[in-house]
Amino acid sequence: MKIKTLILFCAFLVTGNLLAQTVNDYKYVIVPERFEFQNESGEFQLNYLTKTLFEKKGFTVFYSGDKLPDEIALDKCKALHADVVKNSGVFTTGLIIKLNDCNGKALFTSIEGKSKRKQIGRAYHEALAKASVSIDAMGYSYNAKDDEVASWEKADESYMAPQPNIDGIKTKHIVTKHTLFAQPIANGFQLVDSTPKVVMNIYPTSDKGVYIAKQDLTIGVLLNKGGVWFFEYYQENKLVKKKLDIKF
């Protein structure tokens, strides 16, 4: 059974890499503010998390309700359209991430992320995290046209690269037994305790002071409010906020 699962997983990775040769022709992705299965816009932060996943790969991502650059406002076919499809069974919650062109043709389809959690919010987060493995494996690199001005790439480098001094926040830090220490990793940081044990991975977004955060199977956001860090996520349909002591 393990061998079969491994083979299927490798097949999906190969498929993802082949499809990435097509998505490389696009630099923009548009994420809807509400997926078809959601009851309201931004429910369970799925839209925000999806947007962040593609930003981490190097795409320039907008919500469908944002003011779009003239380049794609005048021609929607210059952008890919992200979608998350629910494919749940009786005892499982399944999510699939897609990138469609302007004609609705799927140029990228992730593996199906599944969760058996009963709490719907945590089930969605776990399923999305598992589906995002395909995005992590995507070898995306935008093929800019010769007549394109690539100045937008330089403008985005400031937030795509990990910053040693996060957001310019300089404070005198008193270390306690609860302090977490930020260590640079690819595209972000890992937060470790004094053991040292990795407690959480965080990745920068296009919003200053906002980071995508993964703690075990929980996905949420790390926010800086007045120099204080908070980890926010949904549990049993309720927003949970945890104050963290982090030393960068």
**Distance in angstroms (rounded) separating the CA atoms of residues 38 and 128:** 14
Mean pLDDT of 41-48: 92
Q: Give the CA angle between residues 208, 211, 216 to the nearest 5°.
A: 175
Question: Tokens 């999510």 belong to which residue?
Answer: 95
Judge whether residue 21 has pLDDT over 80: no
Judge whether residue 144 has pLDDT over 60: yes
- Among the residue ranges 51-60, 63-72, 123-132, 232-241, the one predicted with the least confidence is 232-241
Query: 165 or 59: whose pLDDT is higher?
Result: 59
Helices (H), 24-177: 46-56, 70-73, 120-131, 133-137, 151-160
Instruction: Yes or no: say if 103 and 71 are a contact pair by the CB < 8 Å rule.
Output: no
> pLDDT tens digits for 67-126?
888 888 888 899 999 999 998 888 899 999 999 999 999 999 999 999 999 999 999 999
Mean pLDDT of 123-140: 89
> pLDDT tens digits for 156-186?
333 333 333 444 444 445 677 788 888 888 8
Looking at residue 8, its pLDDT comes to 41
- pLDDT bin (cut points 50, 70, 90) of residue 147 is very low
Query: 144 or 206: whose pLDDT is higher?
Result: 206
Looking at residue 193, its pLDDT comes to 83
Across 116-130, 131-145, 157-171, 195-209, which has the greatest mean pLDDT? 116-130
Contacts with 241 (C-beta within 8 Å, 6 or more apart), sequence order: 230, 231, 232
- Say whether 209 sits in a helix, a strand or coil: coil
Token pair for 229: 């860090």
Looking at residue 154, its pLDDT comes to 39
Judge whether residue 25 has pLDDT over 50: yes
Token pair for 240: 């949970």
**Domains of the chain with bracketed CATH:** 2-143 (3.40.50), 159-247 (no CATH)
Q: Tell me the C-alpha to C-alpha distance, in Å, between residue 173 and each of 181, 202, 224, 226.
A: 11, 20, 15, 15
Mean pLDDT of 190-218: 86
Q: Share the mean pLDDT of the chain.
A: 79
Looking at residue 93, its pLDDT comes to 94
Give the type of residue at 97. I
Looking at residue 211, its pLDDT comes to 92
For residue 13, which phi and psi values (nearest 5 degrees)?
Answer: -65, -45
**Distance in angstroms (rounded) separating the CA atoms of residues 248 and 180:** 9
Of the CA atoms within 13 Å of residue 54, those in its CB half-sphere come to 31
- pLDDT bin (cut points 50, 70, 90) of residue 145 is low
